[in-house]
Chain A
Amino acid sequence: MPTMLEVTDLGHRYAAKDGVYTAIDGLSFTVGSGELVCIVGPSGCGKSTLLRSVSGLLRPTTGQVRLHGNLVSGVPADLAVVFQDYSRSLFPWLSVQRNVEFPLRRALGRAERRERARQALEQVGLTGAAGKYPWQLSGGMQQRVAIARALAYRPALLLMDEPFASVDAQTRFELEDLLLRVRREQDTTVLLVTHDIDESVYLGDRVLVLSKSPARVVADLTVDLPAERDQITTRESERFVAMRAEVARLLHSPPAEVAAPARERAGAVVGE
């Protein structure tokens, strides 16, 4: 599996009232082509900052991001982001349908654009809402529009920041399975931030556990579950239960030494 994304010693400092605030510091990891990597970490540790740096929207203060070996300076082509603040990322003057078509304007003709948007809205269960405006929808529906827009774009690299946070449990399961299906069909590389430990294990090929701010990589766990996942059987399997316990442990009491995290197999205790 060739490396797609290479994050090296990445750090970002925001200007703050009393000088600067270091949000992330010395983050390094790689993501292979077609991999789905989940990122978990304490609230406010810098997960969104990390995604923004990878997307090229934020210029890192230190370190670098490489995509296919090329240094990311602007926003790379073929990338889509589902922002944590999804409702603010929808264009209020465009209907749901037009919001989903928005990124397709440059590449596709009218008919094709329509069809793609229709499909994507159907996938997230919003066929009936195509003609509505974002402000006429509930938070969960808005979040699904943002997801549909990213999927319709069919990016090579998909960055998702807590994309299922506002939907109900049943819809969440469906969207998780949709993501797994879509990325397999389209060979999409996915970097997904979540605060839900179970979700990170269920979805991920790997789980990156971050430390408290400034975020560093505490552990890089490979999820050795079968590629085919199932909401019921996977979640009750022994491996799954062991993995989520491990992620939870790492989150709650991270090992002291995180400067040079080793890449561990699941089940191994990190930091010993």
Chain B
Amino acid sequence: MRRAVRGLLGLAGLLALGEVVGRSGLAPEGYLPPTSVVLTRLVELLGDQSFVLDVVATVLAWAIALGIAVAVAVPLGLLLGSVPVLRHGTRAVVEFLRPIPSVALIPLAIVVFGMGPDTKIFLAVYAAVWPILFNTIYAMDEVDPLLVDTARSFGLNRGQVLARVVLPNAAPFVATGIRLSASIALILVVSVELLAGAGAGIGKFILEASSGSGRMDLVFAGTLVAGVLGYLVNAGFEGLQRKLFAWSATTGEVPQ
């Protein structure tokens, strides 16, 4: 409760600062619209059908990208985590692919996928796969050997130990990977919309507002919506994790 209050106070302070700076005339007219103007714009936008469709487009692309990333990275992580030979064999490839910034792949993705939503989905998947993959692989090593011994002593075979000990034990780590990736995928979707343009999306909205007319009030309002989305995504996953994995002391972040 205390933390929530402090957080709200901080937020109120920031908004007040925005108001003061916006009205002070420190920046040229229209560059830093005061908070009250941005919030008014925001309320108007939420009633604007085309803006709402932009938000829906972004959220949809994000959800699809995260779904694909989970569907690819979790099984792959389980496989690599349980078969050391495969893991060592693929290490070089992974170490080469992982550091490539997703946005550097924009031109390549456009060539392959065109200008449609496929491009941003692909790039978001690319970025979101790694935290899930690494957390899943790591999670397979994290099981206490004594839990495995306990299961074995009761006559469980390898497959049963995997299903009843290693996998449940890995779940919170995998969930943490998914939570990290959820934020990353959202950032990627909005970034690609902003950098490469798109048919619809929050990023496209911000891009259009800033270019040409240079409506900074709309830019800020759009950015605020993106920020709130990001916050909700992270908070939602955190809450879910706390509920599902209360038994786990760890939030399971992997040193990457």
User: In the complex, which of the residues B144, B147, B153, B168 contacts A79, with contact meaning CB atoms closer than 8 Å?
Assistant: B153
8 nearest A-B pairs in the assembled complex, by CB-CB distance: A103-B154, A81-B153, A88-B146, A89-B150, A92-B247, A93-B247, A93-B168, A57-B149
Residue of B nearest to A104 (CB): B154
- With the chains together, A92 CA to B156 CA distance in Å? 18
Produce 1/0 per residue, B153-187, CB < 8 A to A.
Answer: 11110001000110011010000000000000000
B152 at interface by CB-CB < 8 Å: yes
Interface majority SS (helix, strand, loop, mixed), chain A: loop
- Pick 15 A–B contacts, CB within 8 A, sort by A: A57-B153, A75-B155, A77-B155, A81-B150, A83-B146, A88-B147, A89-B147, A89-B149, A91-B147, A102-B154, A103-B155, A105-B164, A133-B246, A133-B247, A153-B154
**Does any Cβ of A come within 8 Å of B248's Cβ?**
yes
Give the chain A neighbours of B169 by CB distance below 8 A: 93
> Given the known A-B contacts A77-B155, A103-B154, are A85 and B146 also in contact in the complex, defined by CB atoms under 8 Å?
yes
Q: Which residue, of A83, A88, A89, A93, has the highest number of chain B Cβ atoms within 10 A?
A: A93
- Tell whether, in the assembled complex, residue A55 and residue B153 are in contact, meaning their CB atoms are under 8 Å apart: yes
Q: Judging by beta carbons under 8 Å apart, are A91 and B152 in contact?
A: no
Which residues of A line the B interface, CB within 8 A? 55, 57, 75, 77-81, 83, 85, 88-89, 91-93, 102-103, 105-106, 133, 135, 153
Interface size class of B (residues with CB under 8 A): 20 to 34
Given A92-B247, A93-B247: A75 in contact with B153 (beta carbons within 8 A): yes
Complex Cα distance, B154 from A83, in Å, reads 12
Other-chain contact of B155, A106, A133, A135 (Cβ < 8 Å): A106
Q: A93 — which chain B residues lie within 8 A by C-beta?
A: 168-169, 171, 245, 247-248
Add 10 more A-B contacts to A83-B150, A92-B248 (CB < 8 A): A57-B149, A80-B153, A81-B149, A88-B147, A91-B150, A93-B169, A102-B151, A102-B154, A103-B155, A106-B156
User: Which residues on B sit within 8 Å (CB–CB) of A105?
Assistant: 164
CA distance A55 to B165 in the complex (A): 19
Determine how close the nearest CB of chain B comes to the CB of A87; give it in whole angstroms. Answer: 9
Least distance between B148 CB and chain A CB atoms (Å): 9
Nearest CB of chain B from residue A85's CB, rounded to whole Å: 6
In angstroms, Cα B155 to Cα A153, docked, is 11
B152, A57: Cβ atoms under 8 Å?
yes
A77 CA to B154 CA, complexed, in Å: 8
Return A240 CB to nearest CB of chain B, in Å: 33
Closest Cβ–Cβ distance, residue A164 to chain B (whole Å): 19
Residues of A near B150 (CB, < 8 A) are: 81, 83, 89, 91
CB <8 Å contact, A91 and B154? no
B152 near A80 (CB under 8 angstroms)?
no
| A85–B153 CA distance with the chains assembled, in angstroms | 14
Residue of B nearest to A88 (CB): B146
A residues near B152, Cβ cutoff 8 Å: 57, 75
Residues of B within 8 A of A106 (CB): 155-156, 160
Q: What is the minimal beta-carbon distance from A15 to any residue of chain B, in angstroms?
A: 15
A135 contact from B154, B156, B247, Cβ within 8 A = B247
Residues A88 and B144 in contact, CB atoms below 8 Å apart? yes
Shortest Cβ gap from B41 to chain A (Å)? 48
Query: Which B residues touch A133, using CB under 8 A?
Result: 246-247
Nearest residue, chain B, Cβ from A155: B154
Q: Is the CB of A91 within 8 A of B248?
A: no
Per-residue 0/1 for B203-223: is the Cβ within 8 Å of any A Cβ (1 yes, 0 no)? Answer: 000000000000000000000
Which residue from chain B places its CB closest to the CB of A146 in the assembled complex?
A: B150
Looking at the complex, which one of A78, A83, A91 makes contact with B165 (CB distance below 8 Å)?
A: A91
The smallest C-beta distance from A14 to any residue of chain B, in angstroms, reads 14
| B147 neighbours in A (Cβ, 8 Å) | 88-89, 91
A75 CA / B151 CA spacing, docked (Å): 10
Cβ–Cβ < 8 Å partners of A135 in chain B: 247, 249
Q: Please give, as numbers and ranges, the residues of chain A lying within 8 Å of B164 by CB-CB distance.
A: 102, 105
C-alpha gap A85/B168 in the complex (Å): 21
Chain A, Cβ-Cβ closest to B149: A57
B153 touches A91 (CB 8 A): no
CA gap between A103 and B164 in the complex, in Å? 11
Shortest Cβ distance from residue B165 to the other chain A in the assembled complex, whole angstroms: 7
Residues in chain B near residue A77, CB distance under 8 A:
155
Task: Establish whether residues A91 and B146, one from each chain, have CB atoms under 8 Å apart when the complex forms.
Answer: no
CA distance A88 to B150 in the complex (A): 9
| A60 to B154 alpha-carbon distance, docked (Å) | 20
Q: Chain A CB within 10 Å — which of B153, B154, B169 has the most?
A: B153
Which one of A80, A83, A91 contacts B149 once the chains associate, using CB atoms below 8 Å?
A83
Closest A residue, CB atoms, query B145: A88
